[in-house]
Amino acid sequence: MRHLFSTLLLTLLVINVFSQRITREEYIRKWQLLAIEEMNRSGIPASITMAQGCLESGNGNSELSLKSNNHFGIKCKKSWKGKKVYYDDDRKNECFRSYRTVEDSYIDHTNFLMQNQRYASLFQLKHTDYKGWAKGLKKAGYATAHDYDKRLIRIIEENKLYRLDKKMTFNQIEVQTAHNVLDTDTSGKLTITPFNSHEVTKFNRVKAVVAQKGDTYEILAQELGLKDWELYKFNDQRPGYRPVPNEVVYIKPKKNKTQKNKLTHRVQEGETMHYISQLYGIKLKPLYRRNGLKKGQQPRPGQVIYLRKKK
């Protein structure tokens, strides 16, 4: 009887989990910041990542996404060393990648496209060319559906996801990520909500705050019990530099390298080595050294910057 009760309880719990379906709008609102963050790392349009996530995961409601956090239907392939799960797809009992978190799935989706030669030509397109990317993914064989590109474009246009592709600064993105808020004003433009106080958060496991209007490193240092020279050093800035509102200020030394799942960054127009250093919370000096660049030398648009070590 106890075994029967336990089985019934487990069945009810599973039914309850799968019955709590979320809408496409809720899915987009929940994960759009992650898509924007990955766009800034790679150049893959956030609209494309978001549309693929919606389509491949059934708006986060598919069994593969709920049980294995796989939101992009990526199969194992020979190179995959992580956890695996098996489902019937094009063939019976096919191997799919399983992730610890949804964030890991989004990061691996970016890495999968960046490291696979069949998608290399897509990175010559602008990050605002979602139609070109959709057609390119279909042509490269990302999915077997004959109208895969049309499905992605329809999702993007019906939900106005192309708004996510507008070039956004690192500071704006980090503030949004910390708040988990990305909203639209009456004109339909993307907006952010800044911090009301110097709340301590973390980027790449490094403690940081977000600067407000009128802040200086001296003011922040006094409030946080630090020396002003420490903030200049932690953020690779010269004495006298003043942070702008919404700028991330690290209050602990940055790391020498990123986490294992963030290996490279594809440079966008106007990005500097210091920008990339701040974006990932890694020290500027080893970043130069790792990429064979001299101090002050800047990368070219489209160049791949190694965040951990060069292969």
CATH number of the domain bearing residue 100: 1.10.530.10
The percent of residues above 90 in pLDDT, for the chain, comes to 53
Supply the Cα-derived Rg of the chain in whole angstroms: 21
| Residue 88: per-residue pLDDT | 82
My answer on whether 48 and 135 are in the same domain is yes
Mean pLDDT of 107-124: 93
Of the three residues 129, 151, 167, the one that is the final residue of a domain is: 167
Q: What is the pLDDT of residue 169?
A: 42
State residue 311's pLDDT score.
55
143 vs 246, more confident: 143
34 in any annotated domain:
yes
Task: Say how far residue 278 (Cα) sits from the centre of its chain.
Answer: 15
Q: What is the pLDDT of residues 3-27, one digit of tens each?
A: 444 444 444 344 344 447 889 988 9
Query: So what's the pLDDT on residue 197?
Result: 55
Per-residue model confidence (pLDDT) at position 294: 93
Residue finishing a domain among 132, 167, 202: 167
For residues 208-231, give the mean pLDDT.
85
> Quick one: pLDDT at residue 179?
33
Tell me the pLDDT of the chain averaged across its residues: 82
102 with 213, same domain: the answer is no
Say what the pLDDT of residue 244 is.
87
Same domain, yes or no, for 100 and 15?
yes
C-alpha of 90 from chain center: 29
More confident residue, 52 or 191: 52
Looking at 198-202, 203-207, 288-292, 293-297, which range is the least confident one? 198-202
Q: What is the pLDDT of residues 127-184, one digit of tens each?
A: 999 999 999 999 999 998 999 999 999 999 999 999 888 744 444 443 333 333 333 3
- How many domains, in total, are found in the chain? 3
The whole-number pLDDT of residue 198 equals 77
Report strand pairing: 206-210 vs 201-203.
antiparallel
Is the residue at 50 inside a domain? yes
- Whether residue 258 is contained in a domain is answered as no
Give 306's DSSP letter: E
What is the DSSP annotation of 237-287? --TT--PPTT-EEESSPPBSS--TT--EEEPPTT--HHHHHHHHTB-HHHH
- What pLDDT sits at residue 100? 92
pTM beyond 0.75: the answer is no
The mean pLDDT value for 297-301 works out to 94
**Long-range contacts, stretch 156-163, CB < 8 angstroms, 24+ apart:** 156/47, 156/48, 156/50, 156/51, 156/130, 159/24, 159/25, 159/28, 159/54, 160/188, 161/28, 161/46, 161/47, 161/50, 161/51, 161/130, 162/47, 162/128, 162/130, 163/188, 163/189, 163/190
Looking at residue 202, its amino acid is: K
- Residue 256 falls within a domain, yes or no? no
> Is 90 exceeded by the pLDDT of residue 276?
yes
Are 121 and 50 found together in one domain? yes
Rank 91-95, 154-158, 254-258, 259-263 by mean pLDDT and report only the highest. 154-158
Q: How far apart are the first and last CA of the chain?
A: 59
Q: Where is the domain boundary, 101, 134, 167?
A: 167
Residues 182 and 153 occupy one common structural domain: no
Return the number of other C-beta atoms located less than 10 Å from residue 158's C-beta.
10
- The confidence score (pLDDT) of residue 310 equals 67
Q: Let me know whether 145 and 25 are in one domain.
A: yes
Give the Å distances, CA to CA, from 12 to 18, 22, 60, 64: 10, 19, 20, 19
Query: Is 255 a domain residue?
Result: no
With a CB cutoff of 8 Å and minimum separation 6, the contacts of 178 are 195, 199, 201, 210
Residue 291: domain span: 264-306
The angle at the Cα of 59, spanning 53 to 61, to the nearest 5 degrees, equals 120
**Is residue 143 domain-shared with residue 18, that is, in the same domain?**
yes
Q: Are residues 31 and 136 in the same domain?
A: yes
Same domain, 106 and 7: yes
